[in-house]
Structure 1
Amino acid sequence: MDFEEKIPEAVHDLRYLLDRGYRKKGALKFVSDRYLLNIHERNYLARKVFSREVSLLRRKKIIDISRVKDETVFVDGYNVLITVESICTGYPSLVSCDDGFLRDVNAVFGKYRINDTTKTALTQIILLLKCYKPYFVKFLYDSPVSQSGELSKLTRNILKANNVSGDAVTSKNVDSELVTLSEDTGGIVATSDSAVIDKIQRVVDIPCEILRKVR
């Protein structure tokens, strides 16, 4: 059974189990083992499939990009950047997920390195936000990831070059800080990280907005 045959069946089975209250970790392993999925296929399943209840709750939190006007936007740096880089390279590893978010399934986060597409992707992110006139934009990068300091500096330079009020910093726990910043300021978070989305009230899907413009 090839990818095109087994993945739809695996998606159906996992969604069925999640809708009946099974924990995702166990259900994902059960379904993946049943269909003999490789690591890429398991990543695809993990990022794409959610219960109908979870998907509905998350979709209600997605706001239109136009609503960032005069707002502070906190950007989950690696999360958004890696997905936009995939768009810049022809989006072979992107998937539209049950909960309404666009995600990359390559799982390169911990191994990320600045590359030839980084500056282009960051510029697209910043120019998109600039179009909708946010009050302030703050990028957060995970400090344990190599080159996070250099990436923060590059981001600050691009913000300045495009006259966008903002900053870029590193953090030991980006997920936790995004949630705290959102709660303390009422700002909007740009991410597709499930753990963050479930704890905040308003989220914008920047890669999805960029993909709409390039298609």
Structure 2
Amino acid sequence: MNNRNRGKNTGDDNLFGSEKQVSALRSAVEDMHYLLSREYPEKAASELAGNRYKLKTRQIQALRGASASETQIRNREEKQLKITDLKEKTVHLDGFNVLILLESLLSGAYIFEGLDGCYRDLSGVHGTYKRVNQTLRSVELVASFFRKAQLKKLIWIFDRPVSNSGRIKQIILEFSQENHLDWEVDLQYNPDKILAENAEILVSSDAWILDNCKYWFNLINYLIGEENLSVNLIKMSCHDS
């Protein structure tokens, strides 16, 4: 096993580690929420809020991930399921979205809770997925959820064009066979569209998918509570302490 992880970037403590920085971010999220709710485009809204609070690039990335309009928040809330709704159901899982978020969380990277109650990180695939120290533990956490929710089947969807997607598919399939889990792994060229249009119930924190899906489950929120995970968490609502 390699010694890679998805922990903090150099400089993240300076961007997110002080109450002053977090306070500015929360104010920017409140401003962006106001603008999005009045149908400002996301790019323009994030630039206005970012400029006002002199945010750096990674802070603006966190701002965009955490923000949503009032309509988006209400729409997502209406489609969110509870753990008891999942028994004997088939659930589709946004593979890289969930896996990388869990790897980041377990690595001690900053995790941001958005206005919609979803958790997001600042990592990305950038064309290549690389397994890290926390990969297996992340898959084990998904397996724990699968068993406790008593799912009928779990279908992982990964981006086919991403380098090493075939390798992570093999890792997950081998894990599921060894642990007698009814899992499928599918590689797709347009996974977002597949998830939004074909999945009855899905797991993702991708904003576009959540806006366009039928039903979704907040897996990360569930795992943090159920597995008592230690999280380097920043709540982005001004109303959270």
- Pairwise CA distance, 1:66: 2.6
| Mapped pair 1:108 → 2:124 | yes
Contact 2:204/2:216 (<8 A) preserved: yes
Match of 1:142 among 146, 155, 159: 159
Within 5 Å, give how 1:1-215 maps onto structure 2: 2-90=20-108, 92-104=109-121, 106-110=122-126, 111-182=128-199, 187-213=200-226, 214-215=228-229
Task: State the secondary structure of the residue aligned to 1:85.
Answer: helix
- Pairwise CA distance, 1:63: 0.6
Question: Number of residues paired by the alignment?
Answer: 209
Give the TM-score normalised by structure 1.
Answer: 0.90
Structure 2, unpaired ranges of 5+: 1-18, 230-241
> Root-mean-square deviation (CA), in Å?
1.7
Q: Mark the CA change 1:169 to 1:71 in structure 2 (over 3 Å): closer, same or farther.
A: same
Structure 1, unpaired ranges of 5+: none
- Pairwise CA distance, 1:86: 2.2
> CA-to-partner distance for each residue in 1:78-122, whole Å, 9 max, x for gaps?
1111111122223x3211111121111x13232531111111101
Task: State the secondary structure of the residue aligned to 1:168.
Answer: strand
Contact 1:43/1:107 (<8 A) preserved: no
- Pairwise CA distance, 1:195: 0.9
Partner of 2:13: none
Q: Distance in 2 between matches of 1:135 and 1:12?
A: 40
Q: Distance in 1 between matches of 2:195 and 2:214?
A: 12
Q: Distance in 1 between matches of 2:186 and 2:104?
A: 23
- Pairwise CA distance, 1:75: 0.6
Give the TM-score normalised by structure 2.
Answer: 0.81
- Pairwise CA distance, 1:33: 2.4
Q: Distance in 2 between matches of 1:17 and 1:48?
A: 14
Among all aligned residue pairs of Structure 1 and Structure 2, give the percentage whose two residues are the same amino acid.
24
